Amino acid sequence: MIDYARALNEAQHQAATSGPGPVLVVAGAGSGKTRTIVYRLAWLAEHGVEPDAILLLTFTRKAAQEMLQRAGQLLDHGLTGVRGGTFHAFAFGALRRWKPAWLDDRPFTVMDAADITAAVKHCKDRLRLGRGDRSFPKTQSIVGLLSKARNKEVSLEDVLRKEAFHLLPHATGLQELDAAYADYRREKGLLDYDDLLFELEDLLRENALAAEALRGQFRHILVDEYQDTNLVQARIVRLLTGPEDRMTGNVMAVGDEAQSIYAFRGANVRNILDFPKLFPGARIVRLEENYRSTKPVLDVANSLLAHAAESFRKTLFTRKEGGEPVRLFTPLSDMSQAALVVRRIRELLQLHLPHEIAVLFRSGFHSYMLEMALNQAGIAFRKYGGLRYAEAAHVKDVMALARLLLNPLDLPAFARVAASHSGIGPKTVEKLYLVARSGDPAATEKAFAKFPGFLEDMRLVERLRAASASPADILAALLEHYHPRLESLYPEDWPRRRQGLEEIVQMAASYTDLDLFVADLALDAPEEEHDDPAEDKITLSTVHSAKGLEWNAVLLIDLVEDRFPSRHALAQPEDFEEERRLMYVACTRARHSLDLYAPVALYNRAERGSRHVGQSPFLRELAPGLVEEWQEGFGGALSRRAPAGSLASARAAGDDAPAHAALPPWASRKRALHDAVPLPTDGEAPPLFFTSSPAAPEDAHFCHCRHRIFGRGKIVRHIPPDKVQVNFPGFGLKVILSEYLQMEN
């Protein structure tokens, strides 16, 4: 039995142990939201709710897995039966079981981002839209506009009027394109991300049998990151909890309007405000105490929100007094920013394990320079957001063959396979597709005769379709067939790619149905390397992908105009406000240490030089005295910029270039840095780096312990007050409550 009252604070306790009916938990950043959900799961299990009657809908699968894992540690019998995943993955599962009628029993495929772009491009070309017209939007902007209209459930024209006034002359053309793209998907048996949600809603409304089956199974629904749901997702949750006129199930939604960062995708904060309307009788619980961050970090975060629009304003409080100051660095350029960050990470690595350190940024490409610097410095990292594994060209090539096997009408897959043979361009693809679809063998033979390589692809796919082999066997066969092309396409690094593809075959081994595997890859691409738990790496991530995660040390880079906030967010006040919340999310990821970096100049390829940039408006808005400012001089020397008016401010202005100026930035960094820090003249607290030791982990004891599930493991470090991190062979690093471990010596 778990002592809930002891393990949770009052509000958390109320949420975790609340009886039947709808509950809304408004959970501030770091307020123990995950903990609350985990204890909720435990409480439900203790009260006789079978795990498979619980549906946990989260924004990312990573979050769902983490939650289930933490719950498993808490409960003896684990919660393996709890169903959890993204709305999209859940929708796919349901639609696979109850196919939409319009498919007429044809197979269907989930499109990934590249497919959507390719499909819209195809329709655009066929309608001859924007040919030679530079004012016509590019394919990717069009995809964004169409999806935005559907997600916000407003007309395309309204979207244009509001955010792209200059495109209004093209409204008719874009509407035609929207219709053509819809026909395209219908004809080819393809569902894009938005289709999955709307089709699920239709299913729940129109197929009483399916609706009853789902409602009967999932008596308890938990929705995480509720502020990021859009209108149709809220309706889906409502429909899952019962027919329109009455509630038959239970629902708990958890969210924080201050962390709403997906409005661009149609997320609607009103969902939180309207929760009591949609779910009458809802109880509301607020978690406002922050357990994650130290006071200086929280002060910065609160200061950011103080300037937000009223409905988003909130102040979190912490009892963790003290802690390191938040530091703002102003490197001379983004290049020296990368060097400085590398230096700083090296130092943080003496205090923290790699996975406790993260560098965050607004957009995927902002980290390119840092990635190069880290590679040179030999520091391993994992990157989230940006290019995903399943988006790598070689993976898409092999998966396209697999998809063709499942759905011969899958035009994006067909086009990808075809175009990998030389001599086949868009026009030829279309011709071949029409012939292949007509099913006339003689005509097909003739048309394909010119492209023997492609013909072989199709023959192999057909053979494999008939063979009814396992997903792993099918992919292995496709990989062998694809290998020669892999070598010729990527002469430099094909072995690395080959290894990645072999991992795909490994992954597929845990599936019995190929279509599930293909959909999973499109819906939630796994990480690049199959996690080798022994290999601990630091994290690079976009702020969006960092949502819901936390680290001991967070470094936030590129806090300059046009980058953070994104230059695309300047036109609309709401967009600007969303960037502010994004910055808030970024800062609240940090437990002990938060570094802010605002390079003075950015390298510009076109000009082959650097260009001066202003600081992010969010930095200028911060209340004075919240951050400690350090500026970079030549040679990487850092000097403290004293608070305005103090004695040291005059001194900081002078630039005394140290003797190490000629050294490369990351050579003998310790000494160079140390010497560069001016000694305090007025008895003020001294230097920056290396002295800072936020709750330095005690040195590793290298003693062993035993866990009833994971077996014997080595204790890597203690996490005060009551947890330890243990490396279990075969399971990797786990954070576990000491009381669940047996010590060994």
Partner DNA sequence: TCCTCGTATTTTTTT
Partner DNA sequence: AATACGAGGA
Q: Which of 83, 121, 186, 485 binds DNA (CB under 7 A)?
A: 121
Q: Which is nearer to DNA, 261 or 556 (CB)?
A: 261
Q: Which is nearer to DNA, 45 or 160 (CB)?
A: 160
Q: How far is the CB of 111 from DNA (least distance, A)?
A: 10
Q: Which of 20, 169, 425, 452 binds DNA (CB under 7 A)?
A: 425
Q: How far is the CB of 370 from DNA (least distance, A)?
A: 14
Q: Which is nearer to DNA, 325 or 412 (CB)?
A: 412
Q: State the DSSP code for 665.
A: T
Q: Which is nearer to DNA, 519 or 555 (CB)?
A: 519
Direct distance between the N- and C-terminal alpha carbons of the chain, in angstroms, rounded to an integer:
30
Residue 278 near residue 24, CB atoms below 8 Å: no
DSSP-assigned beta bridge partners for residue 25: 254, 285
Q: Which is nearer to DNA, 200 or 523 (CB)?
A: 523
Give, as ranges, the residues between 88 and 107 that touch DNA (CB under 7 A).
Answer: 88-89
x/- binding map, residues 360-379, to DNA, per CB under 7 A? --xxxx--------------
174 binds DNA (CB under 7 A): no
284 binds DNA (CB under 7 A): no
Q: How far is the CB of 432 from DNA (least distance, A)?
A: 9
Q: Which of 30, 249, 386, 678 binds DNA (CB under 7 A)?
A: 386
Q: Which is nearer to DNA, 134 or 620 (CB)?
A: 134
Q: Which is nearer to DNA, 425 or 484 (CB)?
A: 425
CA-based nearest residue to 592, from 259, 298, 338? 298
463 binds DNA (CB under 7 A): no
358 binds DNA (CB under 7 A): no
Q: Which is nearer to DNA, 425 or 495 (CB)?
A: 425
The dihedral sign for the CA sequence 144, 148, 363, 193:
negative
260 binds DNA (CB under 7 A): no
Count residues binding DNA (CB under 7 A).
53
Q: How far is the CB of 298 from DNA (least distance, A)?
A: 24
Residue 616 near residue 576, CB atoms below 8 Å: no
The CA dihedral of 632, 633, 638, 640, to the nearest 10 degrees, is -80
Q: Is 372 helix (H, G, I), strand (E, B) or coil?
A: helix
Instruction: In whole angstroms, give the CA distance from residue 554 to residue 556.
Output: 6
Give, as ranges, the residues between 521 and 560 that touch DNA (CB under 7 A).
Answer: 523-524, 542, 544-545
Q: Which of 2, 75, 114, 489 binds DNA (CB under 7 A)?
A: 114
CA-based nearest residue to 125, from 138, 114, 110? 138
Q: Name the strand (E) or helix (H) holding 396.
A: helix 393-406
Q: State the DSSP code for 455.
A: H
Q: Is 403 helix (H, G, I), strand (E, B) or coil?
A: helix
Q: Which is nearer to DNA, 130 or 249 (CB)?
A: 130
CA atoms within 13 A on the CB side of 550: 19
Q: State the DSSP code for 371.
A: H
Q: How far is the CB of 226 from DNA (least distance, A)?
A: 15
Q: How far is the CB of 422 from DNA (least distance, A)?
A: 4
Q: Which of 289, 528, 562, 575 binds DNA (CB under 7 A)?
A: 575
Give, as ranges, the residues between 175 and 204 that touch DNA (CB under 7 A).
Answer: 193-194
User: Which segment (2-10, 174-182, 564-572, 737-745) binds DNA by CB under 7 A?
Assistant: 564-572
Q: Tell me phi and psi for residue 266, to 5 degrees.
A: 100, 0
Instruction: In whole angstroms, give the CA distance from residue 71 to residue 328.
Output: 38
Say if strands 627-632 and 609-612 run parallel, antiparallel, or are unpaired: unpaired
Which amino acid is present at 386? G
Q: Which of 86, 241, 250, 290 binds DNA (CB under 7 A)?
A: 86
134 binds DNA (CB under 7 A): yes
Structure tokens at 738: 């000491």
DSSP-assigned beta bridge partners for residue 598: none
Q: Tell me phi and psi for residue 593, to 5 degrees.
A: -130, 125
CA atoms within 13 A on the CB side of 466: 5
Q: How far is the CB of 419 from DNA (least distance, A)?
A: 7
Instruction: In whole angstroms, give the CA distance from residue 690 to residue 348.
Output: 8
CA-based nearest residue to 219, from 68, 42, 80, 55? 55
CA-based nearest residue to 239, from 268, 204, 214, 209? 204
Q: How far is the CB of 569 from DNA (least distance, A)?
A: 6
427 binds DNA (CB under 7 A): yes
Instruction: In whole angstroms, give the CA distance from residue 68 to residue 63.
Output: 9
Is the previous residue joined to 565 through a cis bond, with omega within 30 degrees of 0?
yes
606 binds DNA (CB under 7 A): yes
Q: Which is nearer to DNA, 374 or 673 (CB)?
A: 374
CA-based nearest residue to 332, from 609, 552, 577? 609
Q: Which is nearer to DNA, 13 or 366 (CB)?
A: 366
Q: State the DSSP code for 432.
A: H
569 binds DNA (CB under 7 A): yes
Q: Which of 39, 59, 381, 482 binds DNA (CB under 7 A)?
A: 59
Instruction: In whole angstroms, give the CA distance from residue 84 to residue 73.
Output: 17
Residue 151 near residue 448, CB atoms below 8 Å: no
Which residues contact residue 407 at a Cβ distance below 8 angstroms, ignoring those fewer than 6 apart?
106, 107, 108, 109, 188, 189, 413
Q: How far is the CB of 536 from DNA (least distance, A)?
A: 22
Q: Which of 1, 322, 422, 721 binds DNA (CB under 7 A)?
A: 422
Q: How far is the CB of 293 from DNA (least distance, A)?
A: 23
Q: Which is nearer to DNA, 264 or 279 (CB)?
A: 264
- Binding site residues, DNA, CB under 7 A: 59-60, 86-89, 113-114, 117, 121, 130, 132, 134, 138-140, 144, 147, 193-194, 261-262, 264-265, 362-365, 384-387, 391, 393, 422-429, 523-524, 542, 544-545, 566, 568-569, 575, 605-606
